[in-house]
Amino acid sequence: MALSNSEIADLFDQLAEILDIEGENPFRVRAYHNAARTIRTQPRSLAEMVAFKEDLTQLPGIGQAIAEKIKTIVQTGHLPQLEQALKRVPKSLVELLKVEGLGPKRVKTLFSLLKIKNLEDLDRAARGGKIRELPGFGPKTEELILKHLQRRLPQEKRFLRFEAESIAEALLTRLRGCDGIDQIVVAGSFRRWKETIGDLDILVTVRNGEEVMRRFLAYEGIEEILSHGPTRSSVRLQNGLQVDLRVVAAESFGAALQYFTGSKAHNIELRTLALRHGLKINEYGVFRGEQRIAGASEEEVYACLGLPWIVPELREGRGEIQAGLENRLPKLVELADIKGDLHCHTRETDGQDTLEEMAKMAKAMGYEYLAITDHSKRLTVAKGLDEKRLRQQMEQIEALNAKLKGITLLKGIEVDILEDGSLDLPDRVLKDLDLTVCSVHHKFHLSEKKQTERILRAMDNPYFRILAHPTGRLINQREPYEIDLERIMQAAKERGRILEINSQPERLDLNDEQCMLARDLGVKLVISTDAHSAIGLGLMRYGVAQARRGWLTAENILNTRPLSELKAWLKQA
């Protein structure tokens, strides 16, 4: 079976995590993590590249040794080095790394001294008061572990939309090979661009339903066929994702697409509105009595109720139907509105590409500007910049700007917000930058009061510009740290500070509801990728989708402005 890019990347991440637990050379560990990041963001299938014998070493962060490992994975479905590592270290230990308060060294200590191999072992030891007695732990860490474990109650497994995207694309490509395909769309939360999805719902209109079902059920990644019929089949893939395929009549396609796109709250409101008009809406169409009066397209379904077509990202039952009736739906920000990216990293710290390579990609994307914001010195694991190295990079940026045409690099830094609210570099260097991206990267477990005051103190610095990934969450991995976000937003508005919508698929921070709050409070935002490679700049679409789900327009987003306007705004902030 041809593995998806996401599945290949997972193998390298697992290997890196196990080697980290074993105390392997950190540069080797980072190389595998960087390779995984490149693989995940690569738009083309690596299996396809291997099949066409393309040179994988042309990809950033992929040397000859890793390229050979990728070929082995594609050809065999296995990574021998990972399988060897799993003989030394139980795979379940990797799951412990997702527990707040635990890093590789602590996981190794738990395994070595208490023989803890999984979450169940960890829970028993924490409840028994054994963890606090270990060197480097203590009562607070034990309490933090217990709180995390309490949140990990059994629940439906949800996948990052980013993870499901490559699977959806592979399935659509396969099904489009059938004769007579007219329309084919992935509906559900996937179409609404939710940050996580529970399953995939594929709708298709086709002349020969039997052929498309046969092709669907022959997909190599299927673990189990849950049901099979002439118009609907359901399968579970080997990674646990459920996929449903429905064959729909052309005259009902719009109604079915609307129905299966959801959300449930949106559909309930729509059906309530239909009843007030003496109509009935279901997946087969819009009916007045027994007569179907619409259903072939979504537009005509909404039009029957006096509504404009409502974009899928807004269909969450948050007032979009009333706004549609009152002709006040916002003109949402679009990817084409973005004029530049204000958060990215180069190989000077933990990125994979050079200044020039990042600039070339930004120019190819049609951007006017790109801010270079490598990490500051406190983040030693990322080789963060001290004042001397930052000034050297600033000189390199100025020299490159003198040669570049059609793109301007902005001098910036992702500067750590320290525990006392000070910034990680002195004002004498921050004042010479075009902008600062300010971030919390440590001490996530302060109380809400202390964490909020920490960020507010940082905002008082005259050179503070953008608060990056404001809540610190990692979806399915780490909970947001405790902060009074509304208070921070109010302070940002008063001080002229900016909040970031981080486009990394595992962050998407701010979330959609927080985007709405920022809009309501009048806080200015930017959408940035936090890219660690040139390819990573393409992740902007995820941040734009998040902004759209938060009802944001181009007016709300500063990096929709041309460079001259952006610079003027940054100077007055």
Write the DSSP assignment of 498-513 as a string of letters: EEEEE--TTT-BS-HH
pLDDT in tens, 100-158: 778 888 888 888 888 888 888 888 888 888 888 888 888 888 888 887 777 654 456 78
The residues, ordered by sequence, that sit 6+ positions from 273 with a Cβ below 8 Å of its Cβ are: 305, 307, 321
Quote the CA–CA distance of 447 and 467 in Å, as a whole number: 19
Quote the CA–CA distance of 219 and 565 in Å, as a whole number: 51
The confidence band for 2, taking pLDDT boundaries of 50, 70 and 90, is low
Which of 37-41, 181-185, 470-474, 536-540 is predicted least confidently? 37-41
Which of 47-61, 195-209, 252-266, 490-504 is predicted least confidently? 47-61
Q: Using DSSP bridges, classify how beta strands 199-206 and 196-197 pair: parallel, antiparallel or unpaired.
A: unpaired
Q: Using DSSP bridges, classify how beta strands 232-237 and 466-467 pair: parallel, antiparallel or unpaired.
A: unpaired
The confidence band for 221, taking pLDDT boundaries of 50, 70 and 90, is confident
Quote the CA–CA distance of 459 and 430 in Å, as a whole number: 14
Q: Render the burial of 388-405: b for 16+ CB within 10 Å, e for the rest.
A: ebbeebbebbeebeeebe
Which helix (H) or strand (E) is 159 found in, with range? strand 159-160
DSSP letter, residue 282: E
Q: What is the dihedral of CA 216, 222, 225, 231, to 10 degrees?
A: -20
Which helix (H) or strand (E) is 420 found in, with range? none
The pLDDT value recorded for residue 310 is: 98
Please report where in the chains the tokens 């021998």 appear, as a residue. Answer: 80
Quote the CA–CA distance of 564 and 433 in Å, as a whole number: 16
Backbone region of residue 98 per phi and psi (left: phi > 0; alpha: psi in -120 to 50; beta: other values): alpha
Task: Indicate the burial class of 135 (C-beta count within 10 angstroms; 0-12, 13-18, 19 or more).
Answer: exposed
The pLDDT value recorded for residue 156 is: 60
Domains of the chain: 5-151 (1.10.150.110), 159-247 (3.30.460.10), 252-325 (3.30.210.10), 335-572 (3.20.20.140)
> What is the mean pLDDT of the segment spanning 28-33?
88
How would you list the strands of the sheet with 222-228, edge to edge? 181-186, 199-206, 242-247, 232-237, 222-228
* Nearest residue to 292 (alpha-carbon basis) of 234, 253, 262: 253
The pLDDT value recorded for residue 153 is: 46
The pLDDT value recorded for residue 151 is: 66
Average pLDDT score, the chain: 92
The residues, ordered by sequence, that sit 6+ positions from 171 with a Cβ below 8 Å of its Cβ are: 200, 202, 216, 219, 243
The confidence band for 60, taking pLDDT boundaries of 50, 70 and 90, is confident
Q: Is the peptide bond before 439 cis (omega within 30 degrees of 0)?
A: no
Quote the CA–CA distance of 57 and 66 in Å, as a whole number: 8
Quote the CA–CA distance of 532 and 355 in Å, as a whole number: 11
Please compute, for residue 165, the number of CA atoms within 13 A of its CA located in the half-sphere on the CB side.
22
pLDDT tops 90 at residue 571: no
The pLDDT value recorded for residue 117 is: 84
The pLDDT value recorded for residue 10 is: 86
> What is the mean pLDDT of the segment spanning 287-293?
94
Which helix (H) or strand (E) is 235 found in, with range? strand 232-237
547, 499 contact by CB (below 8 A): no
The pLDDT value recorded for residue 380 is: 82
The pLDDT value recorded for residue 141 is: 83
Which of 158-162, 291-295, 387-391 is predicted least confidently? 158-162
Please compute, for residue 255, the number of CA atoms within 13 A of its CA located in the half-sphere on the CB side.
20
The pLDDT value recorded for residue 565 is: 95
pLDDT tops 50 at residue 358: yes
pLDDT tops 90 at residue 313: yes
The pLDDT value recorded for residue 573 is: 65
> What is the mean pLDDT of the segment spanning 446-474?
96
Tell me the backbone φ, ψ of residue 193, rounded to 5 degrees. 60, 35
Query: What are the angstrom distances between the C-alpha of 560 and each of 81, 362, 435?
Result: 45, 14, 16
Quote the CA–CA distance of 538 and 275 in Å, as a whole number: 44
Please report where in the chains the tokens 């139980």 appear, as a residue. Answer: 90
> What is the mean pLDDT of the segment spanning 57-86?
90
The confidence band for 187, taking pLDDT boundaries of 50, 70 and 90, is very high
